[in-house]
Amino acid sequence: MNIQTKAVHAGDRKKPGPQTPSTTPIHLASTYFYDTTEHLDKVFGQEIEGESYSRYSNPTNTALEELVASLENAPGALACSSGMMALQVALMAALLDRRKSVLAANALYGASIKLLTQVFGAFGVEVRFVDICDLNAVRSAAEEEKPGCIFMETISNPLLRVGNIEEVAKIARAHGAALVVDNTFATPLMVHPIALGAHISVHSLTKYLAGHGDVLGGAVICDEEHLPVVRQLCKTLGPNLGPVEAYLAMRGIKTFPMRMERQCRNASRLASWLVTHPKVDRVYFPGDPAHPDSATVSRMFPKDLFGAIVSFELKGLTEQQQVFEFMDRLKLIVRGTSLGDVHSLLLYPAMASHRDLGFKQRLRLGIKENLVRVSVGIEAVEDIIADLEQAL
Please list the active-site residues: 55, 109, 182, 207
SS3 track for the chain: CCHHHHHHHCCCCCCCCCCCCCCCCCCCCCECCCCCHHHHHHHHCCCCCCCCECCCCCHHHHHHHHHHHHHCCCCEEEEECCHHHHHHHHHHHHHCCCCCEEEEECCCCHHHHHHHHHHHHHHCCEEEEECCCCHHHHHHHHHHHCCCEEEEECECCCCCCECCHHHHHHHHHHCCCEEEEECCCCHHHHCCHHHHCCCEEEEECCCCCCCCCCCCCEEEEECCCCHHHHHHHHHHHCCECCHHHHHHHHHHHCCHHHHHHHHHHHHHHHHHHHHCCCCEEEEECCCCCCCCCHHHHHHHCCCCCCCCEEEEEECCCCCHHHHHHHHHCCCCCEECCCCCCCCCEEECCCCCCCHHHCHHHHHHCCCCCCEEEEECCCCCHHHHHHHHHHHC
